[in-house]
Structure 1
Amino acid sequence: MYLIAHDIGTSGNKATLFSADGKLITSVTHAYNTHYFNETWVEQDANDWWNAVCITTRSLIADAQIDPTEIAAVSFSGQMMGALCVDKSGNPLRPSIIWADQRATAQSDQIAEQITQRDFYHIVGHRNTPSYGLQKLMWIRDNEPDIYAKTYKVLNAKDFIVLKLTNQFYTEPSDANSMACFDLNTWEWSDKILAAAKISKDKFPEIKPSTFVAGGVTKDAAIATGLAEGTKVVMGGGDGVVANIGCGSIAPGKTYCCLGTSAWITTTTQKPVFDPKMRTVTWAHIVPGLYAPNGTMQYAGGSYSWLKNTICTLESHQAEHNNSSPFIYMNEQIEQSSIGSNGVMFLPYMLGERAPRWDMASRGSWLGLKPENTRGDMLRSVLEGVTFNLSICLDILRTQVEINEVLVIGGGAKGKVWRQIMADIFDAEIKVPKLLEEAGSMGAAVIAGIGAGLYDDFNAIDKFIQLTDSEMPNPTAVQAYKVYQENFEIYYNALKPAYELISKNNNVKEF
């Protein structure tokens, strides 16, 4: 038997076929357009998501040369924090306002007049910002009242695909949480927040578990996708939380870090982590009754890529000549630098910062440069600065659970030198899986398998994860980095007035 996982992202849909024993058979991606306009507005056509799911599903079946009846179930990992309005027939009434859109500032302010930021945080696990689905739906109500009046339900991406496959209107806890009106304490829609927002609860779909079978593939959907009619469709979840499953973060203290352009560190707990300073957020976990506290930074691997593209043009030229990667030559120089980068500190806030700063005015900064510093010192300081920032988030998570090891995924996990820096700053074993970019797909496959009855529980992820390497913390380096971590905090606080001046001069908008 086989399982299909769809990862409905911002740039496209990635469909992956797994065998029931956890082997990746094949995958295919189909891109779609994103419409950026009016500076902070970002929309997508939901029918493009559906078209991508149809095309990729047919491709998987054809490439693997399998009988569609051998597919036990299909499930999803989908982009979160959107607002797609559909009518009673399930037809989109307008393009989806996706997670990156920031237009709903006035609506966020409307909620703030009724509920304090701290009270909101302790209900939802998140700050009240324009990023979430509720605020975007409020914007539609205030600016497109005809659309709002016709709206039967507001959905996220994977909820819409479930609807297209089954004709059923549902969501599940992780995506409900991304609407910013889901109460983490009751796992139901929050009457208090909806009253403050003046939004009817009827606009939201029924919440079902992530492993709930929403229905079977309808006849029309079978014709469109190539799936067998009646194939089980399992709800799945929001991409940021489904990755917890794909990384094995399914029990308290199990932790992973994704090092991509942005980066985040996430664990699993039995209770929400309500940080007194509201520096981290908490998601409803895919595993019923558990939580996924998280700290996300803006520009992690992006800072390293910026180095490659601007300062390390020589390394890029050398790599091109030798048919190699520039990062190999960059890492060689980093290894020649010492712990603490010979006194150089980098604050990795080139795009402002979310966790743990929530400071959009902050900017990337090098401090402590001396004539004797080398290029290797500057390169190493970037990796250390990103890791210091993530370590603050990790320490907040550690107030709830013990964390001694961290699974690392994403492009940044490829470099052994960065993994060792992480091990030393985090004071934790760093583990690396064979598949660095498949956490969402593997998590969705496990969810599909549980829904289809192939797996008893989420421990089935052990069939999928293959560890290939690990780095242990060096006790001497761990102690040395504690001092540099303290300096990192001092430097940021010292520069805050300068960042505020930059913000004032450039009219930077806050989160």
Structure 2
Amino acid sequence: MLYIGIDLGTSSVKLLLMDAAGNVKNIVSREYPLYFPNPGWSEQKPEDWYKETMQGLKELLEGFPKEEVAGISFGGQMHGLVILDDKDEVIRPAILWNDGRTTEECDYLNNEIGKETLSEYTANISFTGFTAPKILWVKNKEPENFARIKKIMLPKDYLAYKLTGEHCTDVSDASGMLLLDVKNRCWSKEMCEICGITTDMLPKLYESYECVGTVLPEIAKELGLSENVKVAAGAGDNAAAAVATGTVGDGKCNISLGTSGTIFISSAKFGVDKHNALHAFCDANGAYHLMGCMLSAASCNKWWMDEIIGTKDYKKEQEAITKLGENHVYYLPYLMGERSPYNNPNARATFIGMTMDTTRADMTQAVLEGVAFALRDSFEVAKTLGIPIERTKICGGGAKSPLWKKIIANVLNIKVDVLETEEGPSLGGAMLAAVACGEYKNVESAAAAIVKVVDTVEPDPELAAKYEARYQQFKNIYPACKDLFDKII
């Protein structure tokens, strides 16, 4: 049988076709626009997601036996607010995960409702990217739209609705809404009251590997599929990527170098970092995970290469970098503000340390190292919880760079396992579909059968020591700049 994974990303939707053994048969990507109506705002049109997904499905299946497709599932950009009216029509463009407009609402939630109260209700505090403050923003700034809300959903769930007619979500993605009682895997009635909504406005909750329905007859006809094709709930992009990298079970780690950057640590038990610097979420395996999320990771390198240097030859630029651990230039990777561990939408990207002998290669190296140092910020929080992490998997577009993997291995001073297939959330979605269809007993057995490590990047003691000294300098830069960031916004 064949299984489809749909990764609804920020810049494009990536669709993957996988057979029962986990072999990738085809991959298709379709781009759609990203809108910035005001500085710090970030929106997309859900209709664009659906249009490009349907076109992508047609391209994906061309030349393959469509009758063998048994299941579809998702990985998706988290936290985005999609609101529908009583006719299930989209009310306004979706407000995305990297949107920073909700500073006032976050201040209200964290300071007036209180961080301790939020943590008690949801295991997390409010961040500007989360869904609950977006709901409050619509309530405060667009009351006419707020009054029309019948259903609230997340980006990938809009696709699930369009394919099945079901209003559904999964617990991993819902964990990032600040509306879920994460420990008990149910909606928080208290948070709904705070946001002025009711639980019936929210979609039905599922585990990521559970079937939410089958494709609608008209969808099946348009795509040439059986009406018996099952659709599983899927997972937030990082939880789906964790499935694809085999980061399921207790104490395993994955780093994702996508548009955003994350460090993901799976845990059999529920736990909360006392400062809420890391997110405490449900995972796609029926358990929990801790996650540190930085808003700009590989996107920092893309910005530097495309917009500043003006080149698409990323590999050539990195070939000029030869002196690791000795760079005197530092870069704070806060192009869209920052989430973990600082929770500061006013933070900004910053270069510091340039001199007359600074080269283009130094600047490029600083960008790569700055992302690695920022990942370590979250890594350090995890270590304070007593979680021993000796190795990590890695995925995402940035993981295709051998140099960046070497930098990360030495900045974090851990082994970095390289996978045979680095397809991230799209592969994770296909694996969840296979579990939903009974191809595998559970997510762990699917990961054990499908995920293969083909190389390990080991830290070099001498280089790791150099980066240790550099990190000790790096971690002083944000505190020194924090007040300035607040003043220049």
Same fold at TM > 0.5: yes
Q: In structure 1, how many angstroms separate the alpha carbons of the residues matched to 2:169 and 2:291? A: 21
Of 346, 351, 368, 1:365 maps to 351
C-alpha deviations, 1:481-509, integer Å up to 9, x for none? 3333222223443x23xx523541x3x1x
Within 2, Cα distance between the matches of 1:160 and 1:14?
A: 16
Deviation at 1:245, TM superposition (A): 0.7
In structure 2, relative to structure 1, the CA distance for the partners of 1:457 and 1:43 (3 Å cut) is same
Partner of 1:425: 411
* In structure 2, distance between residues paired with 1:93 and 1:215: 25
2:419 aligned with 1:444, yes or no? no
CA contact (8 A) 2:151 2:203 kept: yes
Q: What are the equivalent positions in structure 2 for 1:149-298 lying under 5 Å apart?
A: 149-288=147-286, 290-298=287-295
- 1:110 and 1:197 in contact (8 A); partners too: no
CA contact (8 A) 2:151 2:201 kept: yes
**C-alpha separation in 2, matches of 1:221 and 1:370:** 60
Q: Specify whether residues 338 and 248 from structure 1 end up closer, same or farther in structure 2 by C-alpha distance, changes over 3 A only.
A: closer
Residues 121 and 190, structure 2, Cα contact 8 Å, conserved in 1:
no
Q: Which residue of 2 aligns with 1:401?
A: 387
CA distance in 1, matches of 2:22, 2:218: 30
User: How many angstroms does 1:135 deviate by?
Assistant: 2.5
1:327 aligns with 2:326: no
Q: Distance in 2 between matches of 1:153 and 1:501?
A: 40
State the SS of the aligned residue for 1:64. Answer: coil
Residues 198 and 260 of structure 1: CA distance in aligned 2, closer, same or farther (over 3 Å): closer
User: Aligned AA for 1:357?
Assistant: Y
Matched with 1:57 is 57
Counterpart of 1:296, as a letter, is C
Distance verdict in 2 for CA 1:378–1:77, change over 3 Å = closer
1:349, 1:365 within 8 Å by CA — same for their partners in 2? no
Q: Deviations over 1:98-148 (max 9, x none)?
A: 333344444444434652124324543433134222222333344555544
Equivalence for 1:17: 17
- The 3-state SS of whatever aligns with 1:138 is helix
Where does residue 500 of structure 1 map in the other structure? 483
Distance 1:183 1:433, change over 3 A: same
Compute the TM-score of the two structures, normalised by the length of structure 1.
Answer: 0.86
Residue identity in the other structure for 1:333 = A
**1:82, 1:99 within 8 Å by CA — same for their partners in 2?**
yes
The reply to whether residue 28 of structure 1 matches residue 28 of structure 2 is yes
Say which SS state the counterpart of residue 394 (structure 2) adopts: strand
Residue 92 of structure 1: how far off its partner (Å): 3.0
- For residue 10 of structure 1, give the secondary structure of its aligned residue in structure 2: coil
- Confirm or deny: 8 A CA contact 1:25 1:64 kept in the other structure: no
Opposite residue 203 of structure 2, the aligned amino acid is: P
Partner SS for 1:36: coil
Hey, what's the Cα distance between the residues in 2 that align with 1:395 and 1:44? 34
Q: Which moved more, 1:1-10 or 1:427-436?
A: 427-436
Contact 1:7 1:77 in 2 (8 A): yes
Identify if the C-alpha distance between structure 1 residues 407 and 371 changes in structure 2 by more than 3 Å, giving closer, same or farther: same
Cα drift, residue 24 of structure 1: 0.9
Cα distance in 2 for residues equivalent to 1:412 and 1:91: 36
Structure 1: distance between partners of 2:366 and 2:435:
44
Contact residue 83 and residue 96 of structure 1 kept, 8 A: yes
Task: Tell me how far 1:75 sits from its aligned partner.
Answer: 0.9
Structure with higher Rg: it is 1
Q: Contact 2:331–2:349 at 8 Å: present in 1 too?
A: no
In 2, Cα distance between equivalents of 1:332 and 1:53? 36
Contact 2:5/2:73 (CA < 8 Å) preserved in 1? yes
Q: Is the CA contact 1:252–1:401 (under 8 Å) kept in the aligned structure 2?
A: no
Aligned to 1:111: 109
Moved more, 469-478 or 117-126: 117-126
What secondary structure, in the 3-state scheme, does the structure 2 residue paired with 1:116 have? helix
Q: Which amino acid aligns with 1:390?
A: L
* SS of structure 2 residue aligned to 1:60: helix
SS at match of 2:231: strand
Partner SS state of residue 276, structure 1: coil
Deviation by residue 1:199-253 (Cα, 9 ceiling, x = unmatched): 2222112212111211222222222333211211111122222111111111122
Superposed CA RMSD in Å reads 2.8
- Letter paired with 1:205: P
Structure 2: unaligned runs, 5 residues or longer: none
Identity %: 28
Distance of aligned partners of 1:107 and 1:422 in 2 relative to their CA distance in 1, 3 Å threshold: closer
Equivalent in the alignment of 1:46: 46
How much has 1:371 moved relative to structure 2?
6.3
Q: Is the 8 A contact 2:98 2:336 kept in 1?
A: no
Residue 299 of structure 1 is matched in structure 2 by 296
Q: Report Cα offsets for 1:436-456 as digits up to 9, x if no partner.
A: 3x1101110111011000111
Tell me the SS of whatever aligns to 1:268.
strand
Q: 1:201 to 1:487 in 2, by over 3 A?
A: same
Given the two structures, how large is their TM-score scaled by the length of structure 2? 0.89
**What is the CA distance between 1:311 and its match in structure 2?**
7.7
**Which deviates the most, 236-245 or 130-139?**
130-139
Partners of 2:93 and 2:336 in 1: how far apart?
27
Q: Are positions 1:482 and 2:481 aligned together? A: no
Contact 2:172 2:236 in 1 (8 A): yes
CA distance in 2, matches of 1:298, 1:53: 25
Counterparts in 2 of 1:415 and 1:111: CA distance versus 1, 3 Å: closer
Mark the CA change 1:215 to 1:501 in structure 2 (over 3 Å): closer, same or farther.
closer
